[in-house]
Every structure is written in structure tokens, then in C-alpha cells.
Amino acid sequence: MSTPPGRVTIKDVAAAAGVSKGAVSLAFNNKPGVSGATRERIFAAARQLGWAPNSAARSLSRQSVDTVGLALCRPARLLGLEPFYMEFISGIESVLAEHDCSLLLRLVGSLEEEIQLQERWWRERQVDGSILVDFHQGDPRISPLRALGLPAVGVGHPDLTGGFPSVWTDDATAVAEAVRYLAALGHRRIARVGGPAGLGHSAIRAEAFERTMEELGLDGGRHVETGFSGEEGARATRMLLLASDRPTAIVYDNDIMAFAGFGVAAEVGVAVPDDLSLLAWDDSQLCRLTHPTLSAMSHDVHGFGAEVARVLFDLLAGQDVPSRPVATPSLVPRGSTAPPRP
Amino acid sequence: MSTPPGRVTIKDVAAAAGVSKGAVSLAFNNKPGVSGATRERIFAAARQLGWAPNSAARSLSRQSVDTVGLALCRPARLLGLEPFYMEFISGIESVLAEHDCSLLLRLVGSLEEEIQLQERWWRERQVDGSILVDFHQGDPRISPLRALGLPAVGVGHPDLTGGFPSVWTDDATAVAEAVRYLAALGHRRIARVGGPAGLGHSAIRAEAFERTMEELGLDGGRHVETGFSGEEGARATRMLLLASDRPTAIVYDNDIMAFAGFGVAAEVGVAVPDDLSLLAWDDSQLCRLTHPTLSAMSHDVHGFGAEVARVLFDLLAGQDVPSRPVATPSLVPRGSTAPPRP
């Protein structure tokens, strides 16, 4: 990706902003000599015209990629609680280390804040490129960051990443496999404990769950949305198990929530897997350390992060990088799933 | 990218500092031949003029702190498995976000690699300061990084951090409390599943364990060293439980291992807490999601990370920052500890 070369030039930006080419250069190199107001006018003109200092020239003069940016839009407290991001980051880092490159990591409070941050990182040359995650439907980051010419890889379905080359998992297929497996065991009352509806991949999974349940002639209305934390997974499971027609199987959107569900089942005296089957997602080591062990839609999160980093390096090397899926999460049946007690 | 030609050069820096170009080069390459005072004058001049050697990734003319470095010396795969570092990093990030500052994160394969990395980060002004973790006895990073003048905070006991201001937890006191609590419940055969002996804080805990056991007239020889992963915690627990004189209580050095021990107890048919008491460390949400819940030496890891970041900002603001302990981990008794069955 990136602004097509040879169209808009620094001269056009200078003309649009009513300044000299030199001033544009000073602004983009964050040098003194341009007032704050002029600098903003120059950036606005560049954004509008879709111009960014040529990234090829940039990397040539710099010789190598040495920093990649990643902003995460979630509360700091939550970040520490979910295994996914640490495994994902460890995968990214494993590839960055091979390239002697570091990760610039930042927690932001909103997508608007991320836009400003990415703009500053890019203009001030703090990053060579970025990894964008947690896409929403109609994500507000796409348009300004594409206008900026930021080289970036989107983590999410290509329908969500708005033209940024994307690396993604086929969540719809995996959800269908999970539901069909539980139905094949004989379950009819299957529930799903999912992530926030605003996230694109949660919406994809929710839709696939409902569609598959419908195809099987089952009621797909048993959804609970959460923010991915163990506490919320526990609360959702308690609510489902205390209902009059409690489910005999639950699919979770990550493994910490499935693990929490396991604790709740013991707490309310529901036997796993005899009275309740639990199916986790992502499959970190947690799933293999419980007794019985947790069945999961297994997913190499570390490898996912590594692949995202590889695609970004390809992009920065000027290669054409089509969006590509990583392996679809696949079912690993363990001790927490079984046919329902007759 | 690089400093645009024709602007500030090494010559200007040399003139401003009243030294030769060669001296500037020596200072920035951390070579002998320039006194500490001269080096500081050169750095000050360079910073004032906005000059950096071969990289203008960041403008030196900016006065605010905007990047803090953290290198972790552990295999990428392991990093994703341990809740501690993600919670610690989330605490750091919470304070960095208040200062509009980002974390430059890197996995390294050895302490030697970290030394080179920190030197480069500092010379190329990629970081304003760093956080140093996982101190070893006689840590090889101390001397070169102090010579460099890198502003850094050490995470570890002041005996280990060699003059870097440190933020630490009083592990010896916490271990003594843990052992005395289990002994007061009536346990005599108490084992410990610890971290790698090479790490300074593991050594401190091991010594405190042995000393406290000895004071109580108990055999303190039941130690197992691990690399902190759940799998290793499971293996250590299995080994301890299959021995002829198996312990009735086990203290773990983190919570993922205690959690794994919990699974192993169920697997080999040892009842928790009737036949075996388990005491975790750090106390992430894992401990509250099992059934029974896990007793733990509770420790606000997020707050620990936040405090480390605050101390670094104080240091960078030129304040005098004495080493300081954060709150000592304290016992939170839950369902996994009880008197041994008579």
C-alpha cells in the first residue's frame, strides 16, 4: 500500500499550504523554523492530498527498519489479564528480534487518540510502520491513516481493514466448526460467551454462530457479550447456568473466560463434562493445565503475531503484499466436552 | 531517514561544546578519551542544537520525555505464558500514557545483547531512559550502562541494581510470612517451587525459605527450580507429590505454576486443601477463578509497574530518587490452604 508515487509531490503540498517546499520539509522533519499553526496547515494539506514523504527514500536513507508501532485501545488493567495480547506481542517480537528491530507500544484511550498518535509517530519518524488491531465496522482510523501514507498491516478480516493489507483468521469457519461439533455430540442448548459487539471479529463470530445454529434448527439467541475478562466470563457463565433452561454447552471467545466458566461450574455444582461442556478459544497453556483439560478452538496466537510482523517487513521492503489468512483455529477436543447426560 | 543535509552538523555541535569533531564522535560512540564532564557538555550541546548521529528518528530539540525502553531477556514463547510481565507492562503503560510517552519494547537473547541494545538506544536517542529488570547477582549490565550515563531504574533489591535507583519488593519478608503461615496451620513438610536460581530475586526467596524453615526447626531442603512456566510448575508438583514423603503444603513463585499444581493435584487424586495446601505468588485473576480459589502472596503487579515508571519520570526530571520498596506481598488466604488432615 501507500500513496501511489509520482502523483502528488511536495510542491503540490507546499502550494496548497501556501508555503515553500523547504517549509514542508522542515515540518515533516520536525525541525524549528515553522510555526505551530503553519505546521498544522502543512499537515492538513498533505493529509488532504494524500501525500507523505516518500517512504522508499526514507528507508533507503535510513538503511533499515528499526521500529514498528503498536497501539492498543483498551484499559491498562485489562491488558494484563488477557493472555492473547502477550502471546501475540511475543510472536511479533520474535520476528522483530531477527531484524534487530524494536516495538513501540502504547495504550490509548480511544481510536481518535490512536489516530493522532500514529500520525505523530509517522511524521516524527518514530516508527517505520505500524500494526493496526481491533478493527471496528467502519473503523475511523482507516481514512486518516491511509491519507497519511503510513505503511501498516491490519489484523482483521479484509472487509474490516479498508485496504490496509491484512492478516486474519477465518473466524466464521471456526465458529461453525465449534457449533457443529457440539451439536454432533448431541447438544441442543448451546450458548456463546463472546467479546464486545463493537469489535469487527466479535460481530463476525456472532453472525456465524447464529447462522450455524439456524442451519441446525437450533435457537441461536443465547449470546452474552463481555469485555473478554475472566470476571466477566464468570458472571456470564453464572447467569447462563442459573437460568431455568440452562445450556448444556458453552462456547467462549477466549480461554480465560472458559477457564472462569470452569470455576463457576464447580462452584454451582454442575459437573464438567457430564452436565456441561465447555469449549475455549485461542488455547493458551491454561487449557492444558486444568483437570479435566479444556477443549478448545486452537489457534497459534504466537505464530499469528509472527506472521503479522513478517507481512509488515515485506510491505516495508516494497513488496506487493496481498491480504492473507493464517491457519483457521481448529478443534482440539479434550476433557471438557462430551455428549450431554441423557 | 536522517537529519536533512545542510542543517546542524557534527561541526556545529563540536563548536558549541568547545571540542573537536573527533571528541563528539568519541562521546557518542562511548569510546574512552573524553572525560565525563566533557561528554555531558557534548550531549547537552547536541541536544540543544537538535543533532544526533546518523539518526534523526527523534528530534533532540523536543524537551519532553517521549520514549522509555524495556528489554526482556527471555524466550518469546515464554513471555506470552506468564501473567507477570503483561501486568507489569500494563502498569508502566498506565503512567506512560499520562505523560504521552511510549514504551520501546524488545526481547533479547542475552544480557550482553541487552547492553548493546541499550547503548544504541541511548546514543541514537531512541529512548530518554530505560527500565532494567531481572537482575542477576553481579549483573554484567551495571558497569557499561552506568558508564554510558543512561538514566535507568532498576527493578530489584538495591543490593542487586549496582547503584541504579531501584524499586523493589521485600521478597524475604514475604517468603517468611508465607512459610510461617503454613507452619502455623500445622504443616511440617513444606515445599517450594521457585524460579531460576540465577535470578537475584529467586536467590533471595530461596535463602529466606531455607532460613525460615530452619528457624522453625523444619527441613528446608525441598526446593524445585523452574523457568516459571505452567508446564514446569506441573512437572515440579508431580515430582513432589509422587515422592514417598510428599509435602502437605507447597509455596509457588508465581500463580501460573500454583494453578498448574492445582490441576496436578486433581490428576493424581490429592484433595486441595484437605491433603495438600497450595499457596500462589503475585495473585493475578487466575487465583480467584479456580474452585476452590487459590490462597496467594498477593502483590499489586500493575501498581508495581506504575511505580517503576513514576520513579523513572522523577529521575528524568532531575529529581533525587532514592531506591524505594513498593508494598510487600501480603498473604490473602483463600480456599486452597487449610490445616493438614491429621
Q: Is B81 within 8 Å of A93 when comparing Cβ atoms?
A: no
pLDDT digits over B39-63, tens only?
Answer: 878 877 876 776 665 433 333 334 5
Interfacial B residues in 158-217 facing A (CB < 8 Å): none
Q: Which residue of A has its CA nearest to B74?
A: A90
Among residues B126, B125, B134, the alpha carbon closest in space to that of B166 is found at B134
Q: Which amino acid is at B334?
A: R
Alpha-carbon distance of B81 to A104, in angstroms, equals 21
Q: How confident is the model at residue B12 (pLDDT cuts 50, 70, 90)?
A: confident
pLDDT digits over A4-27, tens only?
Answer: 334 567 888 888 898 988 888 777
Is any Cβ of chain A less than 8 angstroms from the Cβ of B269?
A: no
Single out the residue in A34, A53, A72 at which a domain terminates: A53
Asked if the structure places residue B334 within a domain, the reply is no
**CATH number for the domain that contains residue A4:** 1.10.260.40
Q: Is B103 within 8 Å of A102 when comparing Cβ atoms?
A: no
pLDDT reading at B81 higher than 70? no
pLDDT digits over A66-125, tens only?
Answer: 899 999 987 776 766 677 888 899 999 999 999 989 999 998 989 999 999 999 999 888
Q: Is A80 within 8 Å of B88 when comparing Cβ atoms?
A: yes
* pLDDT value at residue B62: 41
Single out the residue in B19, B36, B63 at which a domain terminates: B63
Asked if the structure places residue A204 within a domain, the reply is yes
Asked if the structure places residue B309 within a domain, the reply is yes
At CB < 8 A and 24+ separation, what contacts does B159-167 make?
B159/B200, B160/B135, B160/B136, B160/B200, B160/B201, B161/B132, B161/B135, B161/B323, B164/B132, B165/B311, B165/B315, B165/B321, B165/B322, B165/B323, B166/B323, B166/B324, B167/B304, B167/B307, B167/B308, B167/B311, B167/B323, B167/B324, B167/B325, B167/B326
B4 interaction partners in chain A (CB closer than 8 Å): 25, 29, 31
Judgement on whether residues B309 and B208 belong to the same structural domain of the protein: no
Provide the shortest C-alpha distance from residue B329 to chain A (in Å). 18
Judgement on whether residues B231 and B288 belong to the same structural domain of the protein: yes
Q: How confident is the model at residue A56 (pLDDT cuts 50, 70, 90)?
A: very low
* pLDDT value at residue A31: 67
Judgement on whether residues B157 and B251 belong to the same structural domain of the protein: no
Asked if the structure places residue A263 within a domain, the reply is yes
- Domain span including residue A290: 171-298
Judgement on whether residues B307 and B165 belong to the same structural domain of the protein: yes
Chains A and B form CB pairs within 8 A to the count of: 188
Task: Reduce the DSSP state of residue B68 to 3 states and report it.
Answer: strand
Most B CBs within 10 A among A231, A289, A307, hence the mutation to make, goes to A289
Q: Is the dihedral of CA B215, B218, B223, B228 positive or negative?
A: negative
CA A309 to chain CA centroid, Å, is 13
B105 interaction partners in chain A (CB closer than 8 Å): 89, 93, 102-105
Alpha-carbon distance of A140 to A135, in angstroms, equals 9
Judgement on whether residues B157 and B233 belong to the same structural domain of the protein: no
pLDDT digits over A167-206, tens only?
Answer: 999 999 999 999 999 999 999 999 999 998 889 999 999 9
At CB < 8 A and 24+ separation, what contacts does B208-214 make?
B208/B171, B208/B172, B208/B173, B208/B175, B208/B176, B209/B175, B209/B179, B209/B251, B211/B176, B212/B175, B212/B176, B212/B179, B212/B180, B213/B179
Is any Cβ of chain A less than 8 angstroms from the Cβ of B62?
A: yes
* pLDDT value at residue A113: 94
Asked if the structure places residue B5 within a domain, the reply is yes
ipTM of the complex: 0.77
The gap between the terminal CA atoms of chain B, to the nearest Å, is 72
**CATH number for the domain that contains residue A265:** 3.40.50.2300
What is the percentage of chain A residues whose pLDDT exceeds 90? 65
Alpha-carbon distance of A202 to A137, in angstroms, equals 10
Judgement on whether residues B294 and B206 belong to the same structural domain of the protein: yes
* pLDDT value at residue A2: 41
Single out the residue in B30, B63, B96 at which a domain terminates: B63
Q: How confident is the model at residue A239 (pLDDT cuts 50, 70, 90)?
A: very high
Asked if the structure places residue A342 within a domain, the reply is no
Q: What is the mean pLDDT of residues A215-241?
A: 93
pLDDT reading at B144 higher than 80? yes
Provide the shortest C-alpha distance from residue B19 to chain A (in Å). 25
Judgement on whether residues B85 and B135 belong to the same structural domain of the protein: yes
pLDDT reading at B64 higher than 90? no
Judgement on whether residues B309 and B244 belong to the same structural domain of the protein: no
pLDDT reading at A126 higher than 60? yes
Provide the shortest C-alpha distance from residue B189 to chain A (in Å). 25
Asked if the structure places residue A2 within a domain, the reply is yes
Q: Which residue has the cell 563548536?
A: B15
What is the percentage of chain A residues whose pLDDT exceeds 70? 90
Provide the shortest C-alpha distance from residue A7 to chain B (in Å). 21
Judgement on whether residues B90 and B234 belong to the same structural domain of the protein: no
* pLDDT value at residue A5: 38
Judgement on whether residues B224 and B291 belong to the same structural domain of the protein: yes
Phi, psi at residue A281, to the nearest 5°?
A: -130, 145
Number of domains forming the structure of chain A: 2
* pLDDT value at residue A286: 86
Asked if the structure places residue B333 within a domain, the reply is no
Judgement on whether residues B128 and B228 belong to the same structural domain of the protein: no
Q: How confident is the model at residue B29 (pLDDT cuts 50, 70, 90)?
A: low
Q: Tell me which of B136 and A50 has the higher pLDDT.
A: B136
